[in-house]
Chain A
């Protein structure tokens, strides 16, 4: 028990520190509530219960870095239990005779947990300090060209990590040592306190007075310190333990593939932090600065100046500096000044890997889209992107080709595809821009048609009635053009008589499935991999040959990570007799080809040291296969290029799933004369 002076002193300390901390927490609330509107307060109980279960099972952190996550669980469970320990220690300080030592089996179990968790927390914390300050893994660093807030560049994160780490060691270490001193004072060990009992051996020679002083000092180092640290918490990375659960509970529950619409069409997007919807402002404090997001980011991995991690960390260091100014609205600076550079903004492929991997539910990708929206509204964007948007506006496709030529690829077939705008069809095929116009993709497109035709499937296309579906238009931030394209497409589709839509393009699939319904276009839509699987299983597509080959499969971001379609393409491969050899990064953790989010329309950043697509081809080579399977027209063009530029043209064939189906059906290759398109060059 503390002396009366100590008891009063502790209460005064608590009052002072709590009120200081309260001011800091209030600032967080004030800044977050300046953010844009977003309704996340539905089903509150279920949101929090689900989140607590997920955190209890450490689900969100276990998505990556298994060993690090395991070490983190030591600290997490230890700290959680320490809430009880702290309550007990206060009772011990204020209630005469209160002790858990030798107080029966319930208290014994409590002691056992406290004892073991103390050691686990210390172990975990020493590991993290070792990792950050001695081992220094490269993943914790930013590419040299990444924009950093001055205080981040000056080593702010390291300093904060050190302070928090030492705090945890002293807090838990002192409590552990205090228990050992108690045991030494009692003159015996305790089976419920195995490690403290061992430690108590160090103090057997101490005088009763010295032990008593030691007990008081360790109490203050454990309990006094936590109180002194309260005001520091809200501006340290340690605040994640309070904000992350809230952030996770109030997270997005709408489909991943459905972007938030703009709230104010006259001033779309964001310039400053508080222009962002409030959940994204809250991300600022949820971030624990683990850099898992930039570890999986294709833009950061390839050397460009984009680090989603730096974006969140810069936000935090900005509000650390300017909280008052942000609250009174006097100096909420543009995020492009401190959080992310303009060229980094355009480096994002919107692959969703950063959001998927984030253990605390942050969405840096959404910040990027909001910032892009504002840039596009102010006509500030790469010239190449402006040209493509103009083409999409004028021609309805990104290739600046006449809308009339959209179905030109089908002219080389020896049968005619039904015009779904003129006659009823069972399946309406939404071909998409790349499959229609890109020369690397047209063979694949024709094969899809051949397979369906040979199987006697009733399908048709919309020809010039189909425009770009607008998925990536929306993701570069051109919301107005997206809406126009979607409205025109919905009108075209609604004029057709069909049962179901299928599309060869995952990007198109995503927006049709997740975004068109909000604009009045509710359709049954499938990716062609799912359709092929259905048709094979229903024996409408008859496979005659077992191909007996091995291949790897690349999950397209907008099919896999966004929409959870992982099995259909793999099943199709299996039914064709193609054994899937997985790459290390597969399914949820698939690595983007680098084309999404409008990247395919813009030139590579000059700092890019290896294209994401080349990186991926090397990954495929490393698993010992010679066939790289895709199910996305953009992938076909990206990887057809990447096998050449990475020097693997001879040992890696880029295959579309339709290639296997066609072979397994034993259909002849399309009889297209080589270079028929180019044959008539005028002289």
Chain B
């Protein structure tokens, strides 16, 4: 059984995010990219399936970009069998991104696509469902547990309030992964360096991206800051404030 995991880079939230001069996007100069954390969960769950013997092959896939090679080599260092890099820059439109990944997944062949349930920059959770539509296969999203046997996957879907629903789905299928059974593993740097020297990343054409969603960001802004809170040390300070405001 073959699992394909599409990976995407998102802005690293440890940096202060700045909106650029157009007011419609983040300032690319200030942004540092890292692997979307849900994609990391999806990759971990795929690797766990491989290690349990349920899957034979895990393929990591991503659009080209800064540091993408390192990200893909890291996926191999963690245990993926193969990495594919799509030529061109990653579309910001989720429909186009899904179309490109669907094209590549169809070319590569798959039993399961395991995508992160959503991304920090997209926040719409559409990648899985749209890919499934393009691939004409079923899709289950917000998945927190996967097991596979005999051409079927049994998946746990997490509902609000922590309720779990169990589904059986025929393969091939697309899953949107919320969480893996364990924290994403660490890839030791020496192993990644070693993989960089011994493995190669396969390149693939992104193909027809389609029309896209037809929607675009009209403006982007940081949340307005409140007036701020003041931390008080003791009751006396609190009383002073209350007296000052005339409530005590």
What is A's interface to B at a CB cutoff of 8 Å?
262, 265-266, 268, 376-377, 379, 381, 383, 385-387, 389-390, 393-395, 400-402, 404, 478-481, 483-484, 674-675, 678-683
Contacts and interface: CB of A to CB of B under 8 A. Distances in A.
Interface string B215-239: 0000000010111111101000000
Interface stretch (B87-95, B119-127, B161-169, B184-192): B184-192
Interface string B6-23: 000000101110000000
Contacts of B32: 402
B189 A480 contact: yes
Nearest to B30: A404
Nearest to A393: B189
B185 A386 contact: yes
Interface string B184-223: 0111111111100000000000000000000000000001
Given A268-B190, A379-B78, A479-B190, 8 more contacts: A377-B188, A377-B190, A383-B183, A402-B15, A480-B191, A480-B193, A483-B190, A680-B225
Nearest to B227: A683
B18 to A, nearest CB: 12
Contacts of B192: 480
Contacts of B226: 682-683
A381 B186 contact: yes
Given A478-B189, A682-B223, A402 B14 contact: yes
Contacts of B229: 679, 681, 683
Contact of B186 (A390, A679, A683): A390
28 contacts: A265-B194, A266-B194, A376-B186, A377-B190, A377-B191, A379-B78, A379-B185, A379-B187, A383-B183, A386-B183, A389-B186, A393-B189, A400-B14, A402-B12, A402-B16, A480-B188, A480-B189, A483-B189, A483-B190, A484-B189, A674-B233, A675-B231, A678-B231, A679-B231, A681-B229, A681-B231, A682-B226, A683-B229
A385 B183 CA distance: 12
Contacts of B227: 683
A381 B184 CA distance: 12
A480 B190 contact: yes
A379 B228 contact: no
A395 B227 CA distance: 31
A376 B188 contact: yes
A379 B186 contact: yes
A386 B225 contact: no
Contacts of B183: 383, 386-387
B188 A379 contact: yes
Contact of B12 (A266, A377, A394, A484): A394
Contacts of A377: 188, 190-191
Contacts of B14: 395, 400-402
Judged by DSSP, the binding face of B is loop
A201 to B, nearest CB: 73
B34 interface: yes
A484 B190 CA distance: 9
Contacts of A265: 190, 193-194
A375 to B, nearest CB: 10
Contact of A679 (B34, B189, B230, B233): B230
Nearest to B40: A390
Contacts of A401: 14
Nearest to B223: A682
A674 B78 CA distance: 45
Contact of A394 (B34, B185, B228): B34
A44 B185 CA distance: 46
A560 B15 CA distance: 37
B119 to A, nearest CB: 17
A278 B233 CA distance: 59
A287 to B, nearest CB: 31
B190 A682 contact: no
Given A402-B15, A480-B191, A386 B186 contact: yes
Q: Could you say which of B183, B190, B231 has the most chain A C-beta atoms within 10 Å of its C-beta? A: B190
Contacts of A679: 228-231
A682 B225 contact: yes
Given A265-B190, A379-B78, A683 B185 contact: no
A457 to B, nearest CB: 32
Contacts of A379: 78, 185-188
A680 B227 CA distance: 8
A683 B15 contact: no
For B34, B185, B188, the residue with the greatest tally of chain A CB atoms inside 10 Å of its CB is B188
A115 to B, nearest CB: 62
B224 to A, nearest CB: 9
B213 to A, nearest CB: 31
Nearest 7 interchain pairs by C-beta: A480-B190, A480-B189, A683-B226, A386-B186, A481-B189, A681-B229, A379-B185
A265 B191 CA distance: 8
A386 B44 CA distance: 14
Nearest to B79: A379
A148 B229 CA distance: 55
Nearest to A265: B190
Contact of B15 (A268, A389, A404, A678): A404
Nearest to B15: A402
B45 to A, nearest CB: 15
A482 to B, nearest CB: 8
B180 to A, nearest CB: 12
A660 to B, nearest CB: 27
Contacts of B185: 379, 386
A478 B188 contact: yes
A402 B11 CA distance: 12
A395 B192 CA distance: 17
A395 B14 CA distance: 9
A401 B16 CA distance: 10
Nearest to B198: A266
Nearest to B77: A379
Contacts of A376: 186, 188
Nearest to B182: A383
Question: Counting chain A CB atoms within 10 Å of each CB, which of B15, B16, B78 scores highest?
Answer: B15
B188 A680 contact: no
B41 to A, nearest CB: 13
A474 to B, nearest CB: 12
Given A379-B188, A478-B188, A682 B228 contact: yes
A387 B186 CA distance: 8
Nearest to B74: A393
Interface in B117-135: none
Contacts of B78: 379
A491 to B, nearest CB: 16
A411 to B, nearest CB: 14
A674 B233 CA distance: 10
B237 to A, nearest CB: 11
Contacts of A387: 183
A407 B186 CA distance: 28
A2 to B, nearest CB: 65
A680 B16 contact: no
Contacts of B187: 379
A186 B245 CA distance: 111
Given A386-B183, A394-B34, A481 B188 contact: yes
Contacts of B230: 679
* Residue of B12, B185, B186, B233 contacting most chain A CB atoms (<10 Å): B186
A189 B226 CA distance: 102
A661 to B, nearest CB: 29
Contacts of A674: 233
A481 B192 CA distance: 10
A387 B183 CA distance: 9
A680 B231 CA distance: 9
Q: Which of B34, B78, B194, B223: most chain A Cβ within 10 A?
A: B194
Contacts of B188: 376-377, 379, 478, 480-481
Nearest to B78: A379
Contacts of B189: 393, 478, 480-481, 483-484
